[in-house]
């Protein structure tokens, strides 16, 4: 089921600020394990599973993805664009895109032939402002179906690689939305006492905005933030985490040390594989806005190792997703049966 979900959700767009259009896919998968759905006013989806006591636990994984936004329609059917979120222009060259105008149309992002590219030009990094989308349509027709501000995404179907490894666009951070589904499924089996809020946050890629408003709305006692982190490839530093070795537990100033330790202890006790990373300051995740929401929310941050971040070939191991989901369910079960105030007390 996790794989089905990932294949379906990664084939659809949730560009930051445009998360409203494909919510039915989330509902389809969360419905069986949760009791209600609410939205914050920015666009985050909050699936709640009712508990028997007052404690509120928020899980946060962002549903939004980086994308492109049309800035100008040129003669000859070409479209100029800018990025929504951080994109390396080099990763856009020779890609297909889907443009979400009044109707969905396809386009390609090309580049000048090598024959005509001077040595000097080749040495320069490609910039987004140098690129354009070719749709094949006339300007007159395009103006009827596309307007400035419409978004586009790279068109790429998810693929299975060896074993449980898969590649797709937007696995940052849908891999972690899948983690929440796995946790919800587990908790449905073993039941839970706390109220659990599975939050698919909006606009993380443009500045952790949806988690700020969803966090305010939920007002949780603790938050478990889920995001992706760099996975090992031959060009990465030696201390990079590996695929298939479990979630990366972040340790640092943004995270609550006692809650983090509790998670590590639970994983050790129940033999869940984990990896570690030191994050001295900013994490670049929803913890940025959640930690300082209202009077402060104790957070832990777990990351799924992922290769080629912010490209259309993001690669993960689905086993990491499943194991992380199960470990979180076990962790919540332990929290349910202990004194949370005592855990959080410094």
Partner 1 sequence: MEFNSKLMKDLSNCFSPSGREKNVREFITNEIKDYVDEIKVDALGNLIARKKGTGKKILFSAHMDQIGLIITHVDEKGFLRFSNVGGINAKELLGFRVVFDNGYEGVICSEKLEEKEKITFNKLYIDVASTSPDFVKTNFQIGDMCVFQSQYYETEECVICKAADDRIGCYILIEAIKNYSETETDVYYVFSVQEEVGCRGAVTAGYGINPDICIALDVTATGDSLDGIKMDVKLDGGAAIKLMDKSLITHPEIKDLLTNLAKENNIKYQYEVLEFGGTDAGAIHTTMSGVPSGVISIPTRNLHSCSEIFHKNDVLECIKLVNAVTKQ
Residues that bind partner 1 (CB under 8 A): 16-18, 20, 40-42, 69-72, 80, 82, 84, 129, 147-149, 203, 206-207, 209-210, 212-214, 216-217, 289
d(CA 332, CA 300): 12
CB of 214 to partner 1, least distance (A): 8
Do 99 and 135 touch, CB atoms closer than 8 A? yes
Beta carbon nearer to partner 1, 16 or 34: 16
**H or E element at residue 305:** strand 299-306
Q: Which residues of 151-168 are buried (b: 16+ CB within 10 A; e: fewer)?
A: bbbbbbebeeeeebbbbb
CB of 71 to partner 1, least distance (A): 5
In order of 208, 229, 332, the CA distances from 172 in angstroms are 14, 9, 24
- In sign, the C-alpha dihedral spanning 278, 182, 20, 51 is negative
CB of 340 to partner 1, least distance (A): 24
Active-site position among 65, 182, 186, 204: 204
CB of 226 to partner 1, least distance (A): 20
Phi-psi region of 177 (alpha: psi -120 to 50; beta: other; left: phi over 0): alpha
Could you tell me where the DSSP H helices lie in 137-248? 139-145, 171-190, 209-218
Whether residue 288 lies in the annotated active site: no
**H or E element at residue 328:** helix 318-336
Strand duo 104-109 + 95-100: pairing: antiparallel
d(CA 28, CA 5): 9
d(CA 180, CA 1): 13
Show the beta-strand stretches assigned E in 56-103: 56-62, 67-74, 78-84, 95-100
- In sign, the C-alpha dihedral spanning 65, 9, 217, 258 is negative
Beta carbon nearer to partner 1, 42 or 313: 42
Helices and strands of the chain, counted as H and E runs: 10, 17
Neighbour order of strands in the sheet with 314-317: 159-160, 165-168, 314-317
Beta carbon nearer to partner 1, 79 or 181: 79
Q: Which residues are catalytic?
A: 204
């Amino acid at each position: 089921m996790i794989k089905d979900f990932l294949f379906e959700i990664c084939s659809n767009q949730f560009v930051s600020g445009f998360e409203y259009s494909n919510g039915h896919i989330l509902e389809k998968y969360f419905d069986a394990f949760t009791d209600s759905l609410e939205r914050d006013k920015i666009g985050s989806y909050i699936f709640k599973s009712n508990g028997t006591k007052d404690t509120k636990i928020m899980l946060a994984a962002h549903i939004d993805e980086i994308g492109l936004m049309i800035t100008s329609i040129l003669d000859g059917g070409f479209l100029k664009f800018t990025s929504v979120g951080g994109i390396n222009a080099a990763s856009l060259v020779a890609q297909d895109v889907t443009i979400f105008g009044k109707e969905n149309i396809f386009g390609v992002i090309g580049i000048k032939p090598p024959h005509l590219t001077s040595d000097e030009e080749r040495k320069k990094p490609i910039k987004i402002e140098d690129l354009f989308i070719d749709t094949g349509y006339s300007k007159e027709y395009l103006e009827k179906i596309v307007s400035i501000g419409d978004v586009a995404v790279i068109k790429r179907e998810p693929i299975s690689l060896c074993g449980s490894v898969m590649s797709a666009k937007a696995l940052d951070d849908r891999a972690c939305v899948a983690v929440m589904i796995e946790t919800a499924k587990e908790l449905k089996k073993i039941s839970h006492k706390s109220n659990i809020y599975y939050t698919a946050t909006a606009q993380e890629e443009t500045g952790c905005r949806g988690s700020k408003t969803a966090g305010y709305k939920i007002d949780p006692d603790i938050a478990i933030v889920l995001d992706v982190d760099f996975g090992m490839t031959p060009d990465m530093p030696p201390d990079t985490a590996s695929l298939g070795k479990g979630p990366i537990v972040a340790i640092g100033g943004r995270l609550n040390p006692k809650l983090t330790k509790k998670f590590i202890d639970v994983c050790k006790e129940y033999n869940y594989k984990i990896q570690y990373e030191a994050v001295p300051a900013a994490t670049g995740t929803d913890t940025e806005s959640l930690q300082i929401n209202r009077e402060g929310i104790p957070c832990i941050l777990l990351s799924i190792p992922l290769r080629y971040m912010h490209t259309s070939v993001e690669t993960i191991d689905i086993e990491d997703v499943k194991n992380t989901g199960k470990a979180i369910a076990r962790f919540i079960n332990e929290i349910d049966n202990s004194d949370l105030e005592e855990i959080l007390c410094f």
